[in-house]
Every structure is written in C-alpha cells, then in structure tokens.
Structure 1
Amino acid sequence: MNSEEIQSPAAKGHPKGLYVLFATEMWERFNYYGMRAVLILFMTKALMFDKVFASNLYGSYTSLVYLTPLIGGYIADRYWGNKRSIIVGGLVMALGEFVLFFCASNYNAGGLSTLLFFSGLGLMIAGNGFFKPNISSLVGQLYPKGDRRTDAAYTIFYMGINVGGAIGPIVCGFLGDTGNVFDFKWAFLAGGIAMLLGVIVQLIFQTKYVVTPEGKPLGLVPKDAPKAMSNPVLIILGLAAFATLMIGMLYVEAKVFSFITYLLLASVLFIAFIIFSDKTLNKIEKERVIVIFIVAFFVIFFWSAFEQAGASLTFFAEEQTQRDLGFVNIPASVFASLNSIFVVSFAPIFAWLWIKLGKKEPSSPTKMAIGLFLLALGYLWIAFGVKDVSASVKVSMMWLVGMYALHTCGELCLSPIGLSLVNKLAPLKFASLLMAVWFLANAVANKFVGILSALYPPGIAEVKKAADAGINLQPILTKQVTPTAEELTKLKDLKIPFEYQSILGFQINSLYEFFIMFVVMAGIASLILFAITKKLQKMMHQDVID
C-alpha cells in the first residue's frame, strides 16, 4: 500500500467503528469508576467495616482488577476472540453490579450481605479481565498499517474513557452517596445499567461497523482455536469457575491470609526469568528491557499515591472537606470525577507543549520524574491545607480540587509516556509480556493503595461515633489518658481504632503527617529518577529506535 492510499481515508474522517468502541468503553468506565467512587463509603457506612479492613480490601480488589486482564487477554487471543470476550466480560461485570445492588438492599443481613458483597466484587474482577484488554486492542485494527489517523483515534478513545470516568462518579454519587446508607444500592444499579448499555451498543453495532479497512469483521474467534472452546456450555462453566476463583481469592486475601503481594512479586520474577533467559536477545534489547523494569518500579510509587482517590482521599472528602455550597451538598464520591474532568481539559495543553518544546522536549524518563514531582507537589498542597487543623474542623474544597489538578498534570507526564515507552523499547517477541509488566506494576501499586490508606488517622467520624458511646476519643488517641477496660471493649465492638498507625517506625499522628508521607515517598522517587535519567537514556539506545 503506497503513502497516498494510507493518507487518503483521512478526508473521510474516522471509521464508525471507532465511535462504537468509544460508546462501549464510555459506559464501561461509567460503570467501573461510578461504582469505585462509592465502594469504600459503602463498606464503612453500610457494611460497617473499619477503615483499616475496608482500605486493605479496596486495595486487594483494585489490584486483582489490574491482574486479570493478563488472563482474559490470553484466552481471547487463543480461544475466544476479542468480540466474544468483550460481550461476556461486560455481562459478567453487569451481573456483578446487580449482585452488589442486592447486597446494598440487604446490607444488614449479616452473612448474606458478606456473601453477596464478595460475590459482586469477584464478578466485577472476572468480567473486567475479559473486557478491558480486548476493547483497546480493537481500536488500532480499524486502520491500515501506517495510517496517520491511528494516534488521533486513540486520543478520541481515551476521551471516551474519561467522559465515562467523569460522569460515572457524579451520577452514582448523587444517586447513592446521599447520607442514607439504603441509597447506596442505586449507585450499583446505575453502574449495572450503564454496563448493559455498553454491551447492547457493542452487540448491535459491532458486526456492521467494527471491521477492518477491507470491511471484514474484527475480533472473531481465532481460526486455530479448538471448536470445543466455543461451546456455550463450556463458556458458561469456564466463566463460572473463573469468577468463583476470583471470589475465593478476594475472600482468602481479606479474611484468611494476605498473599496477593507475593503472587504479584512471583509473577514479575517469572516474567523477568523468561525474558532474560532468552539467548536470542542481544545486549541492546536486554538493556531496553531493564529500562522497562526500572520505569515500572517507579510507576508503583506514583500509582500507590495517585490512586488514593478511591480510598483515603474519599475519607478526607467525606469527613474533613466543606462540601456544602448553600444550594447543594456535594457528595464526597463526586470528587472522584475531578481527575477525568482535568484529563479532558489538560491533555490538549500537554500535547501542544511537547510539540512546542521541539528539540528541548524532555526525555521519557525525565517526563516521568516530573510526573512524580507534580504528584508530591499535590500532596504538599493538601498537607498545608490541613496543617494545624483539628479533626473536628472541615477545610475548603479548594485544597482537594487543587491537589487533583496537580495530580492530573503528573498523570499526563507519566501514564501515556510510560505506555509509549514500553511499546518503543519492548523487543517484538516480548511486546505483550512486557506490557504485562506495566499492568503488574499497576496491580502492585493498587495493593499498596490499600496498605497506605489503612494508615489514615482517626477523624471526625470516629470521634463522633465514640462520643455517641460516651467516650472522649481525642485524649485516648494522643495518649493523654488510658482507656478503661470498659472503654476498650466498646471501642473494639464499634470497630473504632484507638491507636494511630505507623509505617517504618514512624507514627502517623495527624492528617498533615499522613499527606507528608506521600510527599516524601513521591519526592524521593522523583529525585532518584531524575538522577538516573541520563543513564536510562543511554540504555534506551534512542538513536537505534529513531
């Protein structure tokens, strides 16, 4: 195909299939981010989980969400194809939301509500594993090789992700996060309906519009796939077994013993062994792979702080942020939409900036170091907002909004840059496996999200709950008084933490210290990445890539 043939379709705009995928992904992200925005509030307010348990469970859930696409992508490539995987994944996710709807309708039903809750989350994890990796891969297949519209197509698709990510928390927040715990069910119902809408769009329009440039349907079952794998009974049994496994893993992680961190570490070491034991890779290729592993390591520090949005930062929005505008009281969960709103607003500016800098444009590792620095700056901003503020005082929402704005700038310096870097540096034969390393880094980070969120200091909610039980919690927290045996029993029954958490021997005594922890973590990671940038550039052998 010559260059004229490649460029000529540009005059016709983008294929309609792109907008089908845009709509499907938008509804799915509405579903996921809307549900995620209220999840930790539902756990602590309705199910009455304490913040430490809820934070760790949240981290385990989101970690598995990033891990299962590795399995779903593998099965789609070899047995089911993208089309079937997207549909079944979407249906399983919708089922998960409806199970959570029934859980929220019976949140005080003891063992039943616990069973429904873990089942709903497990179904969400399983469904996401099949949906997420397959819809993204179809976007590039809509265009001929070398088509200049491909980059713009992914930009449009990325906007779909963020439109859904912005609308979902707003709708689910106003429906479910009303102050009445019985209303949480409407948030889960809205998420389930949104997911079904995405599946319906895909079912109706995929065959006609999601096609190759030659008009052939995309995402069909691989030609060499065993026919037995297309048997509906086997598909349903396989999905049921996979979902049951996810439900069991999540329950064991939360209630029995924590193993996900070790599983993720073993996965990374296994992938590293496979790649570096391959004797066909030359020295340049191996050095590039090392760069990918190093960058992925620093990404863990970024996402483990950034993704506090669904955990500790939701606690902060709920308890310590003045959300009453006079004419409306903004639900705490709605603040989760700020990141997506800022992405849509800032992405064109950053795209223009990199082009405008020309030869002065920073290298990819430098951009990622800048991203970590902006993340640290965001937490420094909010740390100043709560400095010397008591647990009973609510601060202006400008501190939370400003932090999210800085975090989004950091994300735009790191996330798309990192993905592009992996694509550039990965040897062709290990392209998928090294993309798995990127997602594993996200999975590890999300596990740490829960661990770090569990350090969130007791706040207004705990002080008020203790006061209702006749206990003055503040002097107990600051060790001015020692709680009596009766008070200790009451605090344990109410699941109120009466000691501040500590990390590496340092006790977190206030919100200021909690946020400063992230400033130090992201700041040190940023400085180290800045320091080794030139070394990484040499190992990338950019001149060979260009």
Structure 2
Amino acid sequence: MPETMSAEAISLPIEKPRQPAGLFVLAGAEMWERFSFYGVRSLLVLYLVEALQYSRADALSVYGMYTGSAFLCAIAGGWLADRFLGQRRAVVLGMLLMMAGHVALGLDQPVALALGFLAVGTGLFKPTTTAMVGALYAPDDARRQGGYTVFYMGINIGAALSALIGGYLAQRHGWGYGFMAAAVGMAIGVVVFMAGWRWLPAVAAPAPEPARTTWNDAGARRRIQVILLMSLVAICFYLGYEQAAGVMTLFVRDHVSPQFLGFELTAAQFLAVNPILVILLAPLSARLLSRLDWPEFRVQGLGMGVLGASFVLLHMLQGRAAQGELIPAWMMVGIIGVQTAAELLVIPIGLAVVSRYAPAGWTATLMGAWMLAKATAGFLAGQLYGWLLPTGLSLYAVLTAVCLAGSLLLIALSGTLRRYAGMP
C-alpha cells in the first residue's frame, strides 16, 4: 500500500459502532418497568405490616408468593409472547397490567388482586424485552455484549430510583403516594415504548430452531444434568438473596439508624444501595473474573460463601440490636455491599453457564429451569421466617448454613462437574 494511503488511513478517526436506536427504547422501557417493580418490592412487606396490620410471618409469606409467582409467570409469559400475542403486544399488555396493579395498591384495593396483576404483567414484560434486545443484533454482531450492558444498567438505574423516590414518598407522605409513583413510572415506560415503536425489532417469522439434541446423546445429557444441578443449588443462594426486601428491611426499620452521609433514609430507601453498587462494581467484577479465569462453579461457590458470611454479620448485629443498641447505617450498607459482591459472583455466572453448556435446542428450556429455581427460592424465602418461628432457630443462622452448604458443594465438585460435562 502506498505511504500516502497508509498515512490517510492512520489519520482517519476510528468510529465506534453505534448501538441501534431500538436498544435505548427497550432500555428506557425496562428502566421504568424496573422502577415500578422494585418500587412495589421495596414497599410491600412494610405496607402489609404497618398499614394492613399483617403479622411479620404473614407479610413475608405474601411477599414470597408474589416474587415466586412473578418468576413463574415469566416462564409462561415468553411462550405466550412468541406463540400467540406477539412480542410488542405482550410488552404493552404487561405494562398496562402492572400499572393496574400499582393503581389498585394505591387505592387500597384487595392486595391479592393487585399482586395478581403485577405478577402476570411482569411475566409478559420481562422475558419479552430481554429477547427483543437480542433480536436487534445479527448472531455475529460485536455490539451485542455492549448492548446488554446498556440494558443491564437501565435495570439497576430503575431499581435504585424506585427505592429512593418510592421509599421516600410512601414513608413520608403515605403509602398511596409510593404506589402511585410506581404507576406513573410505568406510564412513562408505556410512552417510551410506544414512541420508539418504529425502532423496535421487526416482527418476523420465527427462525427455525436448531435440531434439538436428543436425551440419548450421552454428552448432551451430562451437560443438561450439570445445569439442572447448578440450578438446584442456586436455590440456596436465592433463598438468602430474596431476604433483602423482607426480613432485612424490617430489621433496618426497627434497629438501624436512618442517618447516612448526612441524609436520613427510610427503611425502603436502603434497598437502593444494592443496585447503585451493582452499577459501580459490575465492570470491575467482570474485569477481575476475566483475569482470574477461575472455573465457573468455583466462582459461584465463592459467591455463595460470601453471601453466607453476610448472614453471619447480620446475626451478630441482631444480637447487638437485641440488647437495645441502634445499629449505625454504615454497618448495614457494608453488609449490603457484601451481598452485592456475592450477587455479581453468582447470577451472571449462572446465566453464562446455561448459555455455554446447553446442548443445541435446549437453551430456552434450561433457562426456564434457572427461572424455576428462582421462583422456588422466592416462594421459600417468604415462608422460611414463619416456618422457623415456632422452632426458636435463628433465621440468619439457618441461611448461613444453607449458603455455606451450597458453597462447599460447588467448590468441591467444580472440577468434577466440568469434566463430567466434557467442558475444557
């Protein structure tokens, strides 16, 4: 190549490929949907206990049934969107149902009716928008990973804003204001989605699925078994992780100082700490894990151990609170930070394992198994407090034991599972 051509090529600025406009439409809609979902999640147990005079055990049981139902509906919601409703109609219908649920809560309508709207709406919306993001890119498009990063940031921004705004309005001005704020957020999400309609993925005939590997294929069967085992063990993690909006929020309300960095936080606003830390720490976590290049199951086992350690710390704080001590806010923020680190070690790795290990034609089914594990854990997390109450056992001690059991199992079997699955 002539030197002049080479010089011109060098002098030209290198343009980064732009993300499709539809990504920002979907990320915006997702942000406001998560604003509404996490707004209810942060307030539900407090609302049931304080406004409706539920016992702690009953309030946590309702919360568990709600979170479990939302995950279960997500399994069916994606199938309905693909087979009957179409993705766009499923998203709009899901958002409208969620808005109806928020309004019902804000107007003191029956809780079961409101949570039913919310669970079904979430089930239609959540898996469909995630799939639509993938449809924006060709299979070999290098922008895909960055696109999902933008989408993930939208989720956590919405979650943080919901706890900060909804938590403030509900506990300073009344529960109706908090739930109506979630409804307003959902309405904004509908507007964003409809306004960006023309940039959304085109509705096309479904591509033929790859030939489904049969169960008789020994290698495929082993990989499926490994994923199912991992999903089963993940219940140990989610059983602890889902306590944040339940028992931990009640602990914050009763025993933690609201003063933090010159601000006075409500109990619900403490739930904003996790998504804020995820936004700040996720890039660092991804870079660190890439450099370490540890086996997937060892990383997950470490994450479960870290979560178990957070409950050891909570057990210690509970002992101090039982003696009448007011726990400093920074201690609670620190424990939430430990749990966030655990989240970053377990959840993204689990999704990556399903994606990498799943045989041809099995990915969607095995993602459903992971969602089923989350649904099961969400339900059990809400019931655990009531089950343990008559026994006198410490909830935090039980959660520590469960998380450590899952941790030791995955770490001990890390190499065995990879070899059994035939993975390098």
Indicate how the Cα distance of structure 1 residues 413 and 327 shifts in structure 2: closer, same or farther if over 3 A, else same: closer
Matches of residues 43-122 of structure 1 in structure 2 within 5 Å? 43-103=48-108, 113=109, 116-122=110-116
Corresponding position of 1:154? 148
Corresponding position of 1:539? 420
Whether the aligned pair in 1 keeps the contact of 2:260 and 2:329 (CA below 8 Å) is no
Deviations for 1:322-344, whole angstroms, at most 9, x for unmatched residues? 11459653110011111101100
Matches of residues 452-531 of structure 1 in structure 2 within 5 Å? 452-454=384-386, 500-502=389-391, 507-508=392-393, 513-531=394-412
How far the C-alpha of 1:280 sits from its partner, in A, is: 5.2
Whether the aligned pair in 2 keeps the contact of 1:32 and 1:191 (CA below 8 Å) is yes
Corresponding position of 2:7? none
Whether the aligned pair in 1 keeps the contact of 2:308 and 2:400 (CA below 8 Å) is yes
User: What CA distance in whole angstroms lies between the structure 2 residues aligned with 1:280 and 1:390?
Assistant: 54
Paired residue type of 2:75: L
3-state DSSP of counterpart to 1:427: coil
3-state DSSP of counterpart to 2:376: helix
Corresponding position of 2:251? 316
Matches of residues 171-320 of structure 1 in structure 2 within 5 Å? 171-178=165-172, 183-207=174-198, 209-211=199-201, 217-218=202-203, 279=214, 281-320=216-255
Q: Does 1:141 align with 2:135?
A: yes
Corresponding position of 1:248? none
Indicate how the Cα distance of structure 1 residues 343 and 298 shifts in structure 2: closer, same or farther if over 3 A, else same: same
- The CA RMSD over aligned residues, in Å, is 2.1
Whether the aligned pair in 2 keeps the contact of 1:92 and 1:124 (CA below 8 Å) is yes
User: What CA distance in whole angstroms lies between the structure 2 residues aligned with 1:345 and 1:370?
Assistant: 20
Equivalent of residue 432 in structure 1, options 343, 355, 364: 364
Deviations for 1:270-307, whole angstroms, at most 9, x for unmatched residues? xxxxx9xx855410100000001110011101011011
Indicate how the Cα distance of structure 1 residues 409 and 130 shifts in structure 2: closer, same or farther if over 3 A, else same: same
3-state DSSP of counterpart to 1:302: helix
Q: Does 1:125 align with 2:113?
A: no
For these two proteins, the number of residue pairs brought into alignment is 408
User: What CA distance in whole angstroms lies between the structure 1 residues aligned with 2:316 and 2:50?
Assistant: 28
Deviations for 1:328-366, whole angstroms, at most 9, x for unmatched residues? 531100111111011001101111112323xxx111111
Indicate how the Cα distance of structure 1 residues 353 and 279 shifts in structure 2: closer, same or farther if over 3 A, else same: closer
Deviations for 1:379-403, whole angstroms, at most 9, x for unmatched residues? 1222223335426432112222111
Deviations for 1:82-105, whole angstroms, at most 9, x for unmatched residues? 1110011101100111111111xx
3-state DSSP of counterpart to 1:387: helix
User: What CA distance in whole angstroms lies between the structure 1 residues aligned with 2:421 and 2:78?
Assistant: 28
Equivalent of residue 36 in structure 1, options 33, 41, 50: 41
Deviations for 1:23-78, whole angstroms, at most 9, x for unmatched residues? 00000000000111011000011111111111111101100000001211111111
User: What CA distance in whole angstroms lies between the structure 1 residues aligned with 2:408 and 2:131?
Assistant: 35
Corresponding position of 1:265? none
Larger radius of gyration: 1
Whether the aligned pair in 2 keeps the contact of 1:172 and 1:188 (CA below 8 Å) is yes
Whether the aligned pair in 1 keeps the contact of 2:259 and 2:329 (CA below 8 Å) is no
3-state DSSP of counterpart to 2:242: helix
Whether the aligned pair in 2 keeps the contact of 1:308 and 1:453 (CA below 8 Å) is no
Paired residue type of 2:146: A
Whether the aligned pair in 1 keeps the contact of 2:72 and 2:371 (CA below 8 Å) is yes
Paired residue type of 1:385: L
Q: Does 1:14 align with 2:14?
A: no
User: What CA distance in whole angstroms lies between the structure 1 residues aligned with 2:197 and 2:139?
Assistant: 21
Whether the aligned pair in 1 keeps the contact of 2:215 and 2:221 (CA below 8 Å) is no
User: What CA distance in whole angstroms lies between the structure 2 residues aligned with 1:159 and 1:199?
Assistant: 19
User: What CA distance in whole angstroms lies between the structure 1 residues aligned with 2:95 and 2:410?
Assistant: 38
Whether the aligned pair in 2 keeps the contact of 1:24 and 1:201 (CA below 8 Å) is yes
How far the C-alpha of 1:206 sits from its partner, in A, is: 2.0
Corresponding position of 2:3? none
Indicate how the Cα distance of structure 1 residues 398 and 383 shifts in structure 2: closer, same or farther if over 3 A, else same: farther
User: What CA distance in whole angstroms lies between the structure 2 residues aligned with 1:184 and 1:133?
Assistant: 29
* Percentage of identical aligned residues: 29
| Structure 1 length-normalised TM | 0.72
User: What CA distance in whole angstroms lies between the structure 1 residues aligned with 2:329 and 2:357?
Assistant: 41
3-state DSSP of counterpart to 2:412: helix
User: What CA distance in whole angstroms lies between the structure 1 residues aligned with 2:215 and 2:188?
Assistant: 47
Whether the aligned pair in 1 keeps the contact of 2:28 and 2:189 (CA below 8 Å) is yes
Paired residue type of 1:29: R
Equivalent of residue 364 in structure 1, options 258, 273, 296: 296
Paired residue type of 1:194: G
How far the C-alpha of 1:13 sits from its partner, in A, is: 1.5
User: What CA distance in whole angstroms lies between the structure 2 residues aligned with 1:429 and 1:203?
Assistant: 33
Corresponding position of 2:9? none
User: What CA distance in whole angstroms lies between the structure 1 residues aligned with 2:279 and 2:403?
Assistant: 24
| Structure 2 length-normalised TM | 0.92
How far the C-alpha of 1:453 sits from its partner, in A, is: 3.3
Whether the aligned pair in 2 keeps the contact of 1:36 and 1:310 (CA below 8 Å) is yes
Whether the aligned pair in 2 keeps the contact of 1:343 and 1:408 (CA below 8 Å) is yes
Q: Where in structure 1 are there 5+ consecutive unaligned residues? A: 1-8, 104-112, 212-216, 224-274, 457-499
Deviations for 1:492-543, whole angstroms, at most 9, x for unmatched residues? xxxxxxxx532xxxx23xxxx3322222221122112111111111122123
User: What CA distance in whole angstroms lies between the structure 2 residues aligned with 1:150 and 1:210?
Assistant: 15
Indicate how the Cα distance of structure 1 residues 310 and 280 shifts in structure 2: closer, same or farther if over 3 A, else same: closer
User: What CA distance in whole angstroms lies between the structure 2 residues aligned with 1:164 and 1:292?
Assistant: 30
User: What CA distance in whole angstroms lies between the structure 2 residues aligned with 1:440 and 1:296?
Assistant: 8
User: What CA distance in whole angstroms lies between the structure 2 residues aligned with 1:432 and 1:377?
Assistant: 33
User: What CA distance in whole angstroms lies between the structure 1 residues aligned with 2:320 and 2:181?
Assistant: 40
Corresponding position of 1:247? none
User: What CA distance in whole angstroms lies between the structure 2 residues aligned with 1:414 and 1:340?
Assistant: 15
Equivalent of residue 322 in structure 2, options 390, 402, 407: 390
Whether the aligned pair in 2 keeps the contact of 1:40 and 1:55 (CA below 8 Å) is yes
Whether the aligned pair in 1 keeps the contact of 2:17 and 2:143 (CA below 8 Å) is no
3-state DSSP of counterpart to 1:49: coil
Matches of residues 416-431 of structure 1 in structure 2 within 5 Å? 416-431=348-363
